[in-house]
Chain A
Amino acid sequence: MKRLCFSIAAAVAATALIALVAGVPGSGDDGVIRIGHTGTPHLAPLFVAVEQGIFEDNGLRVELKRFGSTSDAGYALLAGRVDVAFLEPSRSFRLLNEHDEAGVKIAGTVNFDFGATLVVREDLNIRLGDLEGMTVAAGSRHCILLSQFKHDAQRHGVDAGKINFVYTAFETMLPALEAGQVDAILTRASYALLAQAEGHKILYQNWDVVPGDACCPAYLAQVEYFMLVKDLEPRYVRGMDAALREASERPPEDSRNAIMKHTQFPLGLQQGFPVARYLVIGQELKQELGDWVWTGN
């Protein structure tokens, strides 16, 4: 009898614990949309919309919740603690792959201009010609950024064949540069912006890159973030969409001020870079993503 009592006590305790762990708070019942973000300058439309009251103009009340990493924001979305979260494509795909029954959908994209950029480590004071013999990280052997750079280097009389290229994912380039494992990185403009903020120097930049190869497929190349939604009423999703599109139309200076206000990212560093823009999902991307795209049902 006593043993049974203990069993029941344990069961009650376990139930309470599991319920506590998985406790799902009511989602947006009070009409406030909770948005998970990571405070990066690449989310300019979001900050502009907040700063200039565009959400209110579209009849939305929003609450920004900042997370340390996009995976944290992803978990918050899964657990129902935010209604909208901005995640980079790779993480979004992982989340959607693993939790396809959780009802998470892609409702929009935040894009950043492509721009082949070469960033050298802060302690190096060199010119393009000095790169020969140094180690440079690039996305992949067949990356469009690399071929563009090699082409441009040739024009400046630099033999790109004498540069040691190592191939790694964009996300790992900045840590490698910080650790001194490479002397320079050849990357997209969005990463170059972050690298520059760490004190590294931009040596070369070409905005005339046309994406579209195996390494950077055209429909995905310029996507920095997906806007993921879960259990959000369609009118709110449409409102978000409208507000962010409107925010993307505002002058770049407004965006830069909003970014500085929300992320403490200095204005000076943003000069010379375009700002991120919110876009609806294009036809090609919609085909590629299939079921994952939010359709309003």
Chain B
Amino acid sequence: MDRKLTYETKGLNLVLKELSAFFTGIAKNNFTVEFFTVFVPIIILWEALPRLGVVPPTLVPPPSVVAETFWDLLVNHDLIGHVGISLLRFFLGLAVAIVTAIPIGILMGWNMFLRRHALPLFQILAPIPSPAWVPITIILLGIGLPMQVFLVFLGVFYPVLFDTYQGVKDTDPRYIASARVFGASELTLIKRVYLPNALSFIVMGVKIGIALGLVMLIVSEMVGAHSGIGWLLVESKDFFRIDRMVACMLTLGFIGWFLIEVMKYIEIKLALWKVGR
């Protein structure tokens, strides 16, 4: 029934409707009474312990100080700009990874000949922990946007690739057979059978990829950048600003959490057909 509604709503109304559904979903799923039972005491203690001198406040800045610092970063230190440049690097890397990994994964899952040629290569490369690529990346690409984007790409690529491959490979042969009987070309099969079947796998891969990509973003900004949230983090460390470090960490945590929530929402939207199961 919902589907009928989305068909009929168009343009701005549709965007507004989806947005409100997204945020209501976030609120409902995350900010539960159970969450606050755990969250509120932690915040209270975090505030109280340094204030009472149980732990040194210079080493453990209480949340009120972190909030103040956060505001200061926002107003005086262009936090938005740093987050923006970080997100630019991140989304470029994510986009490049998704655009390359999904087609390669589909081709590997679709054709045995291609699979036998490509899969061993990726299986050897994938276990190399992405941060191990940092030195050689700096040598090859220098320091700058290409290097940061490549490192993010490395974090996202393999989970998306292998999940796509798995999803396509595991398509039930009877779906393929029933489409072939009707005369579907391989392109149609890929578009209408393999891809929808693998979609939930792909979203899962992207979710893992987002987590790993954020790690690589911070790694890349720590070693080779003069802006961005990762750079702000190491810079804060250099300046002995623990409160700023905590503010940066919480910002990063929020970004990661938000992106995962977006992916969850996309997953539900894409896999509407599975909801009834």
Instruction: Give me the interface of A with B, judged by CB distance under 8 Å.
Output: 3, 6-8, 10-11, 13-15, 18-19, 21-22, 24, 71, 74-75, 78-79, 91, 94-95, 97-99, 101-102, 179
Contacts and interface: CB of A to CB of B under 8 A. Distances in A.
Contacts, number: 70
A97 B240 CA distance: 9
B34 interface: yes
B186 to A, nearest CB: 49
B60 interface: yes
A6 B38 contact: yes
Contacts of A15: 45, 49
A94 B143 CA distance: 27
Report the interface size class on chain B: 20 to 34
Interface stretch (B51-59, B80-88, B120-128): B51-59
Interface in B44-84: 44-46, 49, 54-56, 58-60
**Most-contacted residue by chain A among B38, B41, B54, B142 (CB, 10 A):** B41
B140 interface: no
Q: Is the interface of A mostly helix, strand, loop or mixed?
A: helix
B151 to A, nearest CB: 18
Given A6-B34, A8-B41, A21-B55, 10 more contacts: A7-B41, A10-B42, A18-B60, A21-B59, A22-B55, A24-B56, A71-B240, A75-B237, A98-B239, A179-B143
15 contacts: A8-B41, A13-B42, A14-B46, A18-B46, A18-B49, A18-B55, A19-B55, A21-B55, A71-B237, A71-B238, A75-B237, A78-B59, A98-B241, A102-B56, A179-B143
B33 interface: yes
A19 B60 CA distance: 9
Contacts of A79: 59
B76 to A, nearest CB: 16
Contacts of B143: 179
A95 B59 CA distance: 12
Contacts of B237: 71, 75
Question: 7 tightest CB-CB pairs across the interface, nearest first?
Answer: A22-B55, A11-B41, A10-B38, A14-B42, A98-B240, A14-B45, A95-B240
Contacts of B241: 98
Contacts of B54: 19
Nearest to A19: B55
A75 B240 contact: yes
Given A3-B33, A74-B240, A14 B60 contact: no
Nearest to B243: A98
A275 to B, nearest CB: 28
A221 to B, nearest CB: 23
A245 B39 CA distance: 54
A3 B40 CA distance: 12
Contacts of A14: 41-42, 45-46
B37 interface: yes
Given A6-B34, A21-B60, A94 B240 contact: yes
A22 B38 CA distance: 21
Contacts of A13: 42
Contacts of A7: 37-38, 40-41
Among A3, A18, A74, A75, max chain B CB count under 10 A is at A18
B188 to A, nearest CB: 52
Nearest to A11: B41
Contacts of B37: 3, 6-7, 10
A94 B40 contact: no
Nearest to A91: B238
B246 to A, nearest CB: 11
A24 B59 CA distance: 10
A36 to B, nearest CB: 14
Contacts of A18: 45-46, 49, 55, 60
B59 A22 contact: yes
Nearest to B42: A14
Interface string B178-216: 000000000000000000000000000000000000000
Contacts of B40: 7
Contacts of B44: 11
Contacts of A3: 33-34, 37
A13 B40 CA distance: 13
B34 to A, nearest CB: 7
Contacts of B240: 71, 74-75, 78, 94-95, 97-99
Contacts of B239: 94, 98
A19 B53 CA distance: 11
A102 to B, nearest CB: 5
